[in-house]
Structure 1
């Protein structure tokens, strides 16, 4: 019987905090409980923000916590060819189109549409306005000419084309903390014409994570509730690329005293600061609701 595979996949764009520690420990605990494998993946596609010192700090912090992962570690920046191949497959199926709009263009279009319609424009689960489809109507020859001229562009899923090809229903299985499974119906259409290849990076989080999970044989995706809605889009991409759909578990988030989730962008206290203050890994485990583990020997 194939062992279940779990993974913790941080981005090296800052220091890990207690929220990352919780997710990593939960993945490792699940792997132990189910007799599975625990992988570490470095999600560093954003080459403008990710830095080697932060990647080194990830390994240091996780080892300090007492975690052990399989090697070699998959680094996304070394696998752009995999994501390119996935994109070309989507392009070959006719479900993507190039988008030349800037953020300013999109904001101005939506402002006009809201003024004309007298109501707010629909938003995606992250709160961003749905793309109004400006570039969807550009003829292929015109789009190719603009691309050949070097005009910056992203690539978006064509929701209408996808619905014709894979109308659904789309579903996945969710795992609760006690190991029970339940079926969940996905609603990928609420993301509209989502970006799957960014202008400045030849992929996107959504495309890369779907490919990585498939190529690494990940069977259980355990991540925070802030990514739960993205699962709908990931399930759709798995269908389009004919990839397996893992089991998903979206855990609660570690919050700060004000009730906000911990985040690098909010300068949440990193694990490194706690270490300097003398906090032990056992205290971290206990604070996050896990059974304390022996002090690592290295």
Structure 2
């Protein structure tokens, strides 16, 4: 008896969530993603980008590809969000309305937030992403589709006419441009007013840098007071002219280190591309050339990093204090 009522309840919930509702949800989900991407660019300025980025002709080509493939990719991403977050929340909201009463859109928003928190556990567990920030982003991305579906339903009841797929998508296109404009203006305003401050790398003394730094694959760099260094499976710049397909060499042994506070690298005649403080490590043997480890992270959690290979898409190696 109990299971029969539950099955009937879920069946009514599925019937309450129509194809028109799904179409509106997918359209709104897809329309908001470019604006969310723009906002992520502004928020990303408060974090260390480790010098990884695309600029010049590569940036223009990347934007051209994004514009070309956006009409194909955005509907797919909108469908994924609708299936994973918006639709399950709608079914749970319908059951809650029947049993507990209250506005359906409010229940829908509540379950969208809860499902966003559940999905945020995956990147937090697998990739170490901050759970709270990810959950808030997913909750924000779920809010507009819920309100869009509620508005479309109310309009359909008032006019006794529903939007077709074509009507949803051309309105979604207009909304996409409007949201992108708002995101761009808002991002520029908060940046200009100082509400979002650009990332500033920490300033560390030689005494603060001394100690053990560890990276991936067992890499370790021990900076000893007095300028000596001990390397274990540490990636380093390959020798000039070396016949190797690798962008770095893995070295062990002893060497020297010093703090460069002028943002320069002797390998480039003192006029290199570095713009931050860094640690120059040179081995005693001929395993590799000296390597410039740039200081990054924060004052509480400092890091040393180096980018091997192509500056736009190289191999980033990071060392963290042990």
- Return the structure number with greater relative CO, CA threshold 8 A, min gap 6: 1
Question: Which protein is bigger by CA-based radius of gyration?
Answer: 2
Structure having the larger proportion of residues in helix = 2
TM-score w.r.t. the length of structure 2 is 0.23
TM-score computed with the length of structure 1 as normaliser: 0.24
